Amino acid sequence: MPRPTPPVTVHDSLVLEPRDVHFDWSELPLHWIPDEPMATHTINVLHLLLPEGERWFVKVFKDALPMIRDEQLREEVLGFIGQEAIHAEAHQEVLDHLLGQGLDPRPYVRQISWLFHRVLGDKPGLTARQRRENVIERVAFVAAIEHFTAFLGNWALNSPGLDRAGADPTMLDLLRWHGAEEVEHRSVAYDLMRHLDPGYLRRIRGMAVSGPLLIHLWIRGTRFMLAADPTLDGRLVPTWRDARRAARRGLLPEPGRFLRSAARYFGPRYHPTREGSSSQALAYLAKSPAASAAAAR
């Protein structure tokens, strides 16, 4: 009798490995979910936000490194930095491809860049104590945003509706490779925040700022992409009804589930490891075409 394949095991000590993936976008259609420009561009907002956002994560975590007093956590933070740096570049390549297809994302990306560099960037003239406080506050923002990236990653790993709709397989691999790494490293930012400040107020403030900001940026980004799409002539304006309809068909996360997930972050016993499955993430990474090619190089 054949022996069953053992499940992928997850160890307590997390070893995060940056996977140096590459994607070929030369065949990517503008509407990579066929005939679904609204769902395509709603997901495309990831490409608008993540290059600048994840480079900012890397900067914040590098600033926090000298404050870490735990060797295991330091290793996890270094692994997180390595993974996020590759994520940013992978999404940047999609942005460059969109530009080549006549959809210019730069006006929106300039606003995102301003947000991360000017509003959330380094503040000159701080005392050492104020600087430490500022770094911890930004780590708390990252921890809250990482709750959402893990939520979205978990959704991407469990989104058969995208396969049924005939979504481009290379884009699906990007979303699921990235999503799997988000699930894999979902506890690092939270654990770093708790290491630097275990207070409940810090955690809540991070989510109270990041949650509404992220939703606002996503709605604006979807509107921007639909308006900038040269094939639509500004005819398509997104509505909540369209979003809910797309979610029912499995093309987008359900808004209600997204909001309920955000609410869990406020729970006193919350920990990111209770969201999503590391085993499922590692199982996808073991079969992802891009991650497999990176492992073979």
Interface with Fe ion (CB under 5 A):
84, 87, 149, 182
**Please, which residue, 38 or 139, has the CB nearer to Fe ion?**
139
CB of 51 to Fe ion, least distance (A): 10
What is the nearest approach in angstroms of Fe ion to the Cβ of residue 125? 30
- In three state form, how does the secondary structure of the chain look? CCCCCCCCCCCCCCCCCCCCCCCCCCCCCCCCCCCCHHHHHHHHHHHHHHHHHHHHHHHHHHHHHHHCCCHHHHHHHHHHHHHHHHHHHHHHHHHHHHHHCCCCCHHHHHHHHHHHHHHCCCCCCCCHHHHHHHHHHHHHHHHHHHHHHHHHHHHHHCCHHHHHCCCCHHHHHHHHHHHHHHHHCCCHHHHHHHHHCCCHHHHHHHHHHHHHHHHHHHHHHHHHHHHHCCCCCCCCCCCHHHHHHHHHCCCCCCHHHHHHHHHHCCCCCCCHHHCCCHHHHHHHHHHCHHHHHHHHC
Q: How far is the CB of 60 from Fe ion (least distance, A)?
A: 12
Complex with Fe ion: residue 88 or 246, whichever CB lies closer: 88
In this complex, which beta carbon is closest to Fe ion, that of residue 131 or of residue 270?
270
Minimum separation from the CB atom of position 15 to Fe ion (A): 16
Q: Which is nearer to Fe ion, 250 or 272 (CB)?
A: 272
Q: Is the alpha carbon torsion for 225, 182, 178, 255 positive or negative? A: negative
Considering beta carbons, is residue 38 or 64 the nearer one to Fe ion?
64
In the complex with Fe ion, the residue whose CB is nearer, 101 or 280, is 280
Q: What minimum distance in Å lies between the beta carbon of 91 and Fe ion? A: 9
Q: Which is nearer to Fe ion, 103 or 188 (CB)?
A: 188
Distance of closest approach, residue 244 Cβ to Fe ion, in angstroms: 27
Residue among 143 and 232 whose Cβ is closer to Fe ion: 143
CB of 33 to Fe ion, least distance (A): 21
**Residue closest to Fe ion, measured at CB:** 87
Listed residue (67, 68, 71, 66) closest to 13, CA to CA: 71
In the complex, minimum distance from the CB of residue 127 to Fe ion, in angstroms, rounded to a whole number: 30
Distance CA 73, CA 192 (A): 7
Q: How far is CA 203 from CA 94, 110, 144, 266, 282, in A?
A: 33, 29, 8, 8, 28
